[in-house]
Amino acid sequence: MKKVFAGAVACLLLCGTALAADPIKIGFVDPLSGGGATTGEGGLKNLQFAVDIINNAGGLLGRKVEIIPLDNKVNPQESLVQAQKAIDQGARYITQGQGSAVALALTDFISKYNERNPGKEVLYFNYAAVDPALTNAKCSFWHFRWDASADIKMAALTNFMKTRPNIKKIYLINQDYSFGQAVRTLARDMLKTKRPDIEIVGDEVHPLQKVTDFSPYIAKIKASGADSVITGDWGQDMALLMKAGAEAGLQVDWYTYYAGGGGGPTAIKQAGLEHRVFDIVEGNANSAVESAQKSEAEFRAKYGIGLWYPRGMNEIAMFAEAVKKAGTADDVKKVASALEGMKITVFDGGEGYMRKDDHQFIQDMYLRSFGPLDKGAKFDEENTGWGWKEIARINSADTIVPTTCKMERPN
Amino acid sequence: MSTGVKHFIAFAALAIILIALPKVFVSGSAHTMMSLMGIMIIFALSYNILLGQTGLLSFGHAVYYGLAGFCVAHAMNYIAREKIGVPLPFIPLIGAFAGLFFGALFGLISTRRAGTVFSMISLGIGELVASSALILRSFFGGEEGIPTNRTKFPPFFGYKFGPQIEVYYLIAFWCFVCIALMYALTRTPFGRMCNAVRDNPERAEFVGYSTQRVRFIAFVFSAIFAGVAGALATINFELMNSQSLGAGQSGLVLLMTYVGGVGHFIGPIIGGVIITFLQISLSDITKAWMLYFGLMFILVVMFSPGGVAGWLALHQPLLKGGRIFRLIPAYALALVPMAMLAAGLIMTIELAHRMLVDAQSDGSVMKLAGWTVDAAKAQPWMLAIGLLVCGALGLKLAWPKVREAFAAQSAEVAQ
Amino acid sequence: MLQLVTFSTLNGVLYGMLLFMMASGLTLIFSMMGVLNFAHASFYMIGAYFGFEISRRIGFWPAFFIAPVLVGLVGALVERFGLRRVHKFGHVAELLFTFGLAFVIEELVQMIWGKLPVDYRVPPSLDFVAFRLFDTTYPAYRMFMLAVAVAMFVFLLLVLKRTRVGLIIQAALTHPGMVAMLGHDVPTVFMSVFGVGAALAGLAGVIAGPALVTQPAMAALLGPILFVVVVVGGLGSLAGAFVASLLIGLIQTFAVAINLSMGDVFGPAVANAFGDLGRVTVAQIAPIIPYLLLVLVLIFKPTGLFGNRES
Amino acid sequence: MTPALSLQDVRKNFGPTEIIRGLTLDVMPRERHAIIGPNGAGKSTTFHLISGRIKPSSGSIRLNGAEITGMAPYEINRRGLSRSFQVTNIFPRLSVFENVRCGVLWSLGYRYSFWRFVDKLRDANEKAHAIVEEIGLGARRHAPAGILTYAEQRALEIGVTIAGGADVVMLDEPTAGMSKAETEQAVALIRKISEGRTLVMVEHDMSVVFGLADRISVLVYGQIIASDTPQAIRQNKAVREAYLGEEAH
């Protein structure tokens, strides 16, 4: 007991006084334990990898960049506590990606924090939370997003589907929460204008991460006669869905957001769905520019996992650029202004820019399918021997969706 | 000293501690953490009205914390929008009313039975409410929850409650009030009958009390205070989301209360402080923190079912008798193998964690309490296992001595 | 439609039998020892992981026989060195012990096998199509699962009705507390019962692992449903557990197939009055129906459908 | 005069077996009434039926003329009937004083009150205090009931039973398992507390029964075969045959 308290006292005092100005600190608030830890860890390593590149090149304005990993257990309330911890340790930048619920809580928290603590503002870099609200109704000057939002991805996906006349009947199956609901509405709306001839034969939502056996759902898909399925499912739901589909001999094409997530490739391989599962991403290692392929190989050699978040590379690169341009890392308003509208060469190739209106990063998107590796393709997933193959590249211009954001900028 | 004076001193001390703490721990995160501790103390104490005082094991207590939190979030948004002149410090009362309402509603169903049936109904209601939270989107706001803003209220004596420190004092005030009220509750006729129902429900019926009614009222009280805690959580985070009423939160309050000690009023207070601290800080030190949580819980259940408070209470007569210092040699003797055992266990877990989880991506070299070790080598493992075995054997030898010393001193005090 | 009904029935019965494999062990443990074992689904998970580990080294069939025995041993050890110690503190402490155990097991499994699903596959000898009905196939492995579950059910029935051990167990089911008076070595009986219960759950895990995904959350997903089964069936009633398993298996499977919402039944006016609730379809709430059932049953018949004991 | 307690043709069956088979019994106010009978005659079941622990299958039970059949134990208790148990049935983690005070609270009208301190209830505390002294546990008043000796627990059992001031008190084998000296003390206690009350007791110790009871009822196979003064019971032929005959060593 006493020990614990002594430790507590020591920590609290230390945490309170740790205001060392030297390194530029970024608080990384994502799950590092429990079910979400795999993706959280992946993100952390990804960003660490990007930061190491900058530090090896001498840092920023003569200062090192340091990432403070903080475990938020994918809990929005806990995330706020951890963000506060990061700020107390001197971080002026928070980055997060896993879960839009957390992202919405964080952006709200940071807006309020900045309002209440003028002169000590904090920026929030979002590398994976895709709720469109973050750059629309709930957009904030302090928030920047490098991942394509759900509507951008759906725009890209439907633009590709437009070119596939063999799609006639589509079944929508999604998780019953805001992201799943968003995917379902977006798919309906966009298909209606782009491919009015497609019949939507089913529109299903199932509870989030609670279903143990998807075979009843598969039976329904089967009964509907669908030839393609659109799903925003991720995690175990995705894996279970694929598995149940393969078991029942369901012959459809899967258009997904997150088939590439942890466990997905294994399930697809097991199900034997060769090149029938598609996903929509901002970078594909097997077809990326050489520099990206080199980094990917380096990353895999170092960490044993794929570089899942090319956007994380973009995030850190643009952050470095903005700090240099602003000439300071401490006046985050200047850094934010430098980021607005900034153009860069995207990690995987091509041009990209940070849209000023809503702080959404715009870049080319890729549609991929999963199957046995082609000749010359280097990277397989989860040791399955199968890998992702680029099917189509959707130009950034074809991914743009308008924003309703009315950004409030500080004076 | 009369009991009244004793109580006065105890509560005065509590007030001083609550006021002084932020002056001692000055950082923003310390304030955040202490605010959270205050909330969790109320929550755990409210849970102990059920578990410790009435003998009802609930697996769904977070339902009342969370539902009240949501009601408060909506109420806060409404008040801010309509510009109703209610200052923020009165908001927790809304939480209390929400707790009262939902406690009475679900209490009618669940308190008809005690024992296992009660536990199972609480589990069922918990799952039901948590799952509904994702379906009924307009009230629960989906998985992102309902955000709110605590500064949109008329100032209260000039305070706007933007800074965390002001929120801390708000929470501390309510924490003090709730502790006092819940303590008072244990000393009323009703409080005593809760204990009677816990000890022997049958006999309670034969002295004129309907055990069902006693359980119901206890349940409602428990929900009211859980509601206050939920309201304070909403104020603190300016956000309420569905995770707060799920099984995880219900498990957490059980853990806090049990580790703190269900048999004493102060137990849940201790538990709330310790577990909140560990929950927020342990994950900075080790990724296996959840494993430690589980192990800690099991160890408490197996070896100290009275929790920390029960263990402390065991020493109270010795402290009073002025003989507690006589235990020091025996405890010091036991402390050595105990520390070895703990060190061995922690080392084993950390090494195993390194090898099984991180070695592939980060290599097998790790830092353990300042030392750099290679988990792939045999030496650290041998050291860990050695510590574990020696600690266990040593403890086996030393423990009878501790018991002996304890018994001897207790006997002398008794005389 | 017929297709949907046929496959839903098959899937429902299969899921129900799987539940019963676990619920039977849970019921036995509860009847004999008075402990509601929170960690029971964890033994199911351990069974799946042991099955995975053994089958990738030696093959599925050895795993099928060895893994449940190992899980049973783990269960017996848990009883011997954990639960028995806690016994003297009463049932609440025992329940909490298993609660903590479930937590620790999940963490350990995550540590050893990782957080992602493992590649536990249907053995090639069973990887074919059992039959085809209206152009939908039904995998042989699922038929195998069904066969194992039914075989286990028959075996359990025979043991209970025809053997001396069965008589003791039956005595314990109807008269808890009687076992102690029978003069048997009670601690050993407890240890065996706990071990056998764990082994049954382990067997369920071994065969369910390849069909459902083997991953660390599988225990947490199934555990609460398991409680619903034994409580709805009636604590301590094997017959009740059987009926409730099938009931919940079928309800959950069929509910998924129903796309009705309140709006469809009562018209949009009524549905709008209920807000979100009015728009929700039966399929959407399928997985929470068991809990609804639990609460309703406990309100109207607190002893469960077939039970006569309350605590 | 209305009987304090009156059972009319009460029956109770568990499944196919009828344990109480048309039991009829009147107990007059202020009477000390003992129920005796061989093991398995249904004495404890009768107690459970009267006190509401189990519900009769048919028949009627009246307390001071009012129907109480099928009521919950607490309702019956509130109407002035209190009972003790054969197996000690107290609140083990509460102190002796608390045990008795729990018995006192309802009758003084404190019910479920949570707005006043129990330590400030002068009448409840005085009454509890008096009863603790009366049952001879004054020195042990702060001890948790669970650690008392057997005889002390039996005394406390009686104390809790009479604490509510019930005018009908039922004691289930109050001296079972006691030594001779302890039994004598218990008898004195029972005599003292039963003054001015109606007492119904089940007892195996015949010296206690014949020393205390004003009237005795003999219960055999779920029926009362005789109900009379001790003197008359001693002479009763049916009783001698059915019961005392076996027991007369």
* pLDDT of the residue at C178: 58
Of C1, C8, C217, the CB nearest to A216: C8
**Cβ C129 vs Cβ C137: under 8 Å:** yes
Strands (E) located in B304-406: 365-368, 371-374
Q: What is the pLDDT of residue A189?
A: 93
Contact D171, D84 (CB under 8 A): yes
Residue of A nearest to B133 (CA): A177
**CA-to-CA separations, B157 to B150, B153, B160, B166, C10, in angstroms, rounded:** 15, 12, 9, 12, 68
CATH of region B3-310, choose from 1.10.530, 3.40.50, 1.10.3470, 1.10.472: 1.10.3470
Q: Which of C104, C112, C295 is closest, CB to CB, to B298?
A: C104
* Backbone CA torsion sign across A86, A92, A98, A104: positive
| Burial of C154 from C-beta contacts in 10 A (0-12 / 13-18 / 19+) | exposed
Of B27, B244, B280, the CB nearest to A81: B280
pLDDT of B229 reads 97
In chain A the first and final C-alpha atoms are separated, in Å, by 50
List of chain B residues with pLDDT < 70: 1, 360-361
Q: D89 at the B interface (CB within 8 A)?
A: yes
Residue from the list B124, B135, B297 with its beta carbon closest to the beta carbon of C285: B135
Residue C116 at interface with chain A, using a CB cutoff of 8 Å: yes
As a whole number of Å, the CA-based R_g of chain D is 18
- DSSP label at B265? T
Confidence of residue C179 (pLDDT cuts 50, 70, 90): low
Shortest distance between the Cα of B208 and any Cα of chain A, in A, equals: 44
Distance of alpha carbon B347 from its chain centroid, rounded?
Answer: 27
Q: Quick check: helix, strand or coil at residue A159?
A: helix
Cβ separation of C121 and A243 shorter than 8 Å?
no
Contact of A272 with chain C, judged by CB distance below 8 Å, is answered with no
Retrieve residue A406's tokens: 């009315």
C310:B356 CB<8 A: no
Q: Which of C4, C8, C287 sits opposite A207 (nearest CB)?
A: C287
| pLDDT over threshold 70, residue D122 | yes
The pTM is what? Answer: 0.90
Torsion of Cα atoms, A312 then A316 then A319 then A323, to 10°: 170
Task: Give me the residue label for tokens 């008359």.
Answer: D232
Inter-chain contacts counted by CB atoms under 8 A, chains A and C: 95
Q: Select from A210, A247, A266 the Cβ nearest to the Cβ of C221.
A: A210
Count of helix runs (H) and strand runs (E) in chain B: 18, 4
Which single residue is written with the structure tokens 């608390």?
A: D98
**Among A120, A209, A207, A225, which Cα is nearest to A171's?**
A225
Short-list A221, A220, A227, A241, CA closest to C4: A220
Q: In chain B, whose CA is at the least distance from the CA of D100? A: B207
Query: C122-126, C212-216, D81-85, D235-239: which has the highest mean pLDDT?
Result: D81-85
For every one of its 411 residues, what pLDDT tens digit does chain A have, with 9 covering 90 and above?
444 445 444 444 444 433 344 899 999 999 887 767 778 888 999 999 999 999 999 889 989 999 999 998 888 889 999 999 999 899 999 999 988 889 999 999 999 999 999 999 999 999 999 999 999 999 999 999 999 999 999 999 998 888 888 999 999 999 887 788 889 999 999 999 999 999 999 888 887 777 777 888 888 898 888 999 999 998 778 888 888 888 778 889 999 998 887 778 888 887 788 899 999 999 888 988 999 999 999 999 888 888 889 999 999 999 999 999 999 999 999 999 999 999 999 999 889 999 999 999 999 999 999 999 988 888 998 888 899 999 999 888 888 889 999 998 887
Q: Is the pLDDT of residue D246 over 60?
A: no
- Which residues of chain B does D111 touch, with a Cβ-Cβ cutoff of 8 Å? 189
Task: Specify the fold of D1-78+205-249.
Answer: Rossmann fold (3.40.50)
Q: Are the C-beta atoms of residues D226 and D217 closer than 8 Å to each other?
A: yes
pLDDT of residue A11: 46
Q: How far apart are CA B295 and CA B303, in angstroms?
A: 12
Helix ranges (H only) for chain D are 43-51, 73-78, 96-105, 122-134, 150-163, 180-193, 206-212, 230-235, 237-239, 245-247
Q: How far apart are CA C30 and CA C23, in angstroms?
A: 10
Phi, psi of A22 (to 5 degrees): -65, -70
Asked if A241 contacts A255 with a C-beta cutoff of 8 angstroms, the reply is no
Q: Which helix (H) or strand (E) holds D225?
A: strand D223-228
Q: Does B363 touch chain C (CB under 8 A)?
A: no
Domains and CATH numbers, chain A: 2-148+291-362 (3.40.50.2300), 151-281+365-399 (3.40.50.2300)
Judging by DSSP bridges, how do beta strands A253-256 and A228-231 pair with one another?
parallel
Q: Per-residue DSSP letters for A180-218?
A: HHHHHHHHHHHHHHH-TT-EEEEEEEE-TTT-S--HHHH
Do at least 3 CB pairs under 8 Å connect C with B? yes
> What are B343's two structure tokens?
């060190």
- Give the pLDDT of residue A69: 92
Query: Of the given ranges (B92-106, C95-109, C162-176), which has the lowest mean pLDDT?
Result: C162-176
Spell C22-34 as b/e; 16+ CB within 10 A means b: bbbbbbbbbbbbb
Q: Residue B287's closest chain C neighbor by CA?
A: C111
Q: Do C136 and A249 touch (CB under 8 A)?
A: yes
CA A10 to chain centre: 37
> What pLDDT, on the 0 to 100 scale, is given for residue D170?
94
**Which of C107, C108, C282, C289 to mutate against chain B (most B CBs within 10 Å)?**
C107
Q: From D114, D160, D107, D110, select the one nearest D137 (Cα to Cα).
A: D160
Contact with chain A for residue C22, Cβ under 8 A: no
**Mean pLDDT within C108-121:** 82
Two tokens at A163?
A: 């070119």
Residue A152 has what DSSP assignment?
A: H
Contact between chains at D101 and B192 (C-beta distance less than 8 A): yes
Alpha-carbon gap: A162 to the closest alpha carbon of chain B (Å): 32
In angstroms, the Cα distances linking C301 to C96, C247, C305 are 26, 16, 7
Contacts of A382 in chain C (CB under 8 A): 116
To the nearest whole Å, the CA of B174 is away from the closest chain D CA by 19
A-chain CB neighbours of B38 within 8 Å are: none
The pLDDT of residue C27 is 86
**Interacting residues of C135 by C-beta distance below 8 A, sequence separation 6+:** none
Closest CB to B207 among D102, D112, D116: D102
Asked if pLDDT for residue C175 goes beyond 70, the answer is: no
What are the domain boundaries of chain B? 3-310, 315-414
Q: Between B and D, how many CB-CB pairs are < 8 A? A: 101
**Contact criterion met (CB < 8 Å) for A212 and C222:** yes
Which residues 6+ apart lie within 8 Å of D92 measured at CB? B199, B200, D144, D145, D146
What are the residue boundaries of the structural domains of chain D, listed by start? Answer: 1-78+205-249
The token pair at B306 is 């009275």
First to last CA, chain B: 22
